[in-house]
A and B are shown apart, each in its own frame.
Chain A
Amino acid sequence: MQEFLQYFFSGITNGAIYAVIAVGFSMLYNSTELINFAHGEFVMLGALGLVTFWSVFKLPLPIAFILTVICVSGAGLLFERFAIRTVSKPQPIVLVIITVGASIFLRGIAMSVWGKDAKGLPPFSDHSPLEIAKATLLPQSLWILGISFLAVFGLYLFYQKTLTGKAMQACAINRRAAWLTGIPYQKMISLAFLMSTGMGAVAGIIIAPITLCSYDMGTMLGLKGFCAAMLGGLGSLWGALLGGFLLGILEAMGTGFFYSGLKDAIAFILLLLILYIRPGGILGAKDAKRF
């Protein structure tokens, strides 16, 4: 029981991070039908941005948090404006390859700005680990869970309660019809990039204290996030959340009850199975392209 609980804690911590990354993938796909393979790099920028603002400039944590998100989503906006929008024939394959190129570019930039070495950060709060039924739960895990739920819930409110959010949904459902009703389509795409990369930054920020931040940390995280988004159903907000947690927990259980060498294999086999049985993902219905 103690072991099971410990695996579960480990799983939900990683799962929450995968979920936030998956949400970023998912919402961008929803608005633009684009898979941004540079998304993992924005996660990395979030983590390294926090290193700079919090541990180098010594700003208070909330300010460093907000500044990092602003800077990274600003970078996302620039990325959309100069790399995506300027493409003359925006076929999906061309755009996907551009995002792959952007990820290599961002990694190179990060390497020259932050150097090649990994960097560590202290946890957000100094509390000692909690003991629940002899399993330990890190305070940082609670931060991760809290912030990721807050972020996803905030996004849900944005889509349900604000005019802009509804306009964005309209664009997702039918681009042309939305345009005809006077919704500025281009602005909505920019906004989607801004928010998606902002979510990436949040994921990077909350993960920074439990792991080590380096310029090449984003690729694997991006891949796992993509996996989670596919698992839950690409384009679905709750699906992304579910996919993230499912992936995290299964990885931890796989490590605990099978063999740690098979950890990644278990996750990817599961993905294959789900794609085979339900190609749209667990929560992804065929026609419902909305949150």
Chain B
Amino acid sequence: MSARKSNMVWGLAALMMISGLLFSSTGHAAETYKIGGIFSVTGASSFLGDPEKKSLEMVIEDINAKGGIDGRKLEAVIYDTEDDPTKSVMHVNKLISKDQVVAIIGPSTTPTTLAIIPSIEKEKVPLISCAAGNAITNPIKPYVFKTAQSDILAAACVYGFMKKQNIQKVGILTVANAFGESGKEQLLKQAEKFGIQVVQSESFGDKDTDMTAQLTKLRKAEPQAIICWGTNPGPAVIAKNVKQLNLNIPLYQSHGVASPKFIELAGDAAEGIYLPTGKPLVANLLPDSDPQKKVLMEYIKSYDAKYKIPVSGFGGYAYDAMQILAKALVGTNGDKQKIRDNLEKITGHVGVSGTFNFSKDDHEGLSPDAFVMVQIKNKTWELAK
């Protein structure tokens, strides 16, 4: 009898230990929310991906310092896409199946984002992209959101400004990739609404060394302004070519080059160029009445303090994405469906890139006032009037 009893005691003890192990292990797994991040940390778009990665890490550190979400800490799993769509798809599959993330932030560019959307939709993982292309959220895909201002808003901002300047005829020069094509589409589509006529449309390759031929062709069509739509380094070469050809036609660039790097690359040729930009770049120039000013100054201050390098403006996309995701994560217990539903309900979120109002029919959430027009003067930005 006593032997049986002691067996039972042992058995109970063993059971308790096993169940204890089980509980503690499930308890442990539930402690952190894994957030996936994929950015172009290296490659041609590293000027986007590098600050985005840094901003994401900064926000996560900040949230963890404040105790996490629902008592759970966040953990970032970040991969480098090297700006390559194929690698992006590989990393996304790894994030979903191996790392088991609850949501993904990134990638940095439109081509890489478009490449991963099929995987995202198939696996039903919420994605907040940091790329600007309109094709990302139009048409609406249930699990895909984005924080970067789209080309629609940028084109509207440029045209709105041109209308005030009485410009009616423009020539456009776009880079031959998804960013440029998407920009071109918007520029052509919206022109009529602003009473503007696109007299000539040309394109250039993103590794081209000389664009004088395209500019010569544009000059022949006699536009009152030239709009160049691309990301570095092509637009800097174009800025130089415009000066070399003595074109004397105002040059407008896209938000794709809104970073100090562009001024550095184009040098003197950057003087006088107009471009739309998100507000981080000109935060200190904004009037105090701007609702974003407070958020912006806070972001810039903490970024400066942590990394000791100036803010580029692009990091804000990841900053906003993580802040929004943090709001959506509350009370979901990591359920991806619930996170997605919560994302659609976020309204009035004042972020670095603008005020976000997501809805069932709008996964971008921003309006044209997310952009301001600036002009490059004396190697720095000024609000254009």
Contact = CB atoms under 8 A, between A and B. Distances in A.
Interface of A: 3, 6-7, 9-11, 13-14, 17, 111, 116-120, 122, 129, 135-136, 138, 207, 210-212, 214, 216-217, 219-221, 251-252, 255-256, 259-261, 263-264
A219 B43 CA distance: 14
Contact of B233 (A207, A212, A221): A212
B202 A260 contact: yes
12 contacts: A13-B210, A116-B50, A117-B261, A119-B265, A120-B264, A129-B244, A136-B245, A251-B213, A259-B203, A260-B202, A261-B176, A263-B205
A251 B207 CA distance: 14
A120 B267 contact: yes
The 4 closest A-B pairs by CB, nearest first: A211-B209, A212-B233, A6-B216, A255-B213
Given A116-B50, A129-B244, A136-B245, 16 more contacts: A6-B213, A6-B216, A13-B210, A116-B42, A116-B43, A129-B246, A138-B244, A211-B237, A214-B44, A214-B233, A216-B43, A217-B207, A256-B217, A260-B213, A260-B217, A261-B176
A160 B236 CA distance: 43
Interface of B: 42-44, 46-47, 50, 176, 202-205, 207, 209-210, 212-214, 216-217, 220, 232-233, 236-237, 240, 244-246, 261, 264-267
A111 B42 contact: yes
Contact of B214 (A13, A17, A138, A255): A255
Interface centre among A11, A219, A261 (most CB of B within 10 A): A261
B205 A264 contact: yes
A138 B241 CA distance: 10
Contact of B213 (A7, A138, A211, A261): A7
Contacts, number: 92
A219 B205 CA distance: 13
B216 A210 contact: no
B300 to A, nearest CB: 21
A136 B246 CA distance: 8
B107 to A, nearest CB: 16
A14 B210 contact: yes
Contacts of A252: 213
A122 B264 CA distance: 12
A260 B216 contact: no
A117 B217 contact: no
Contacts of A212: 232-233, 236-237, 265
A263 B244 CA distance: 22
Given A212-B236, A264-B205, A117 B213 contact: no
A219 B209 CA distance: 13
A111 B202 CA distance: 31
B315 to A, nearest CB: 16
A223 to B, nearest CB: 10
Contacts of B233: 118, 211-212, 214
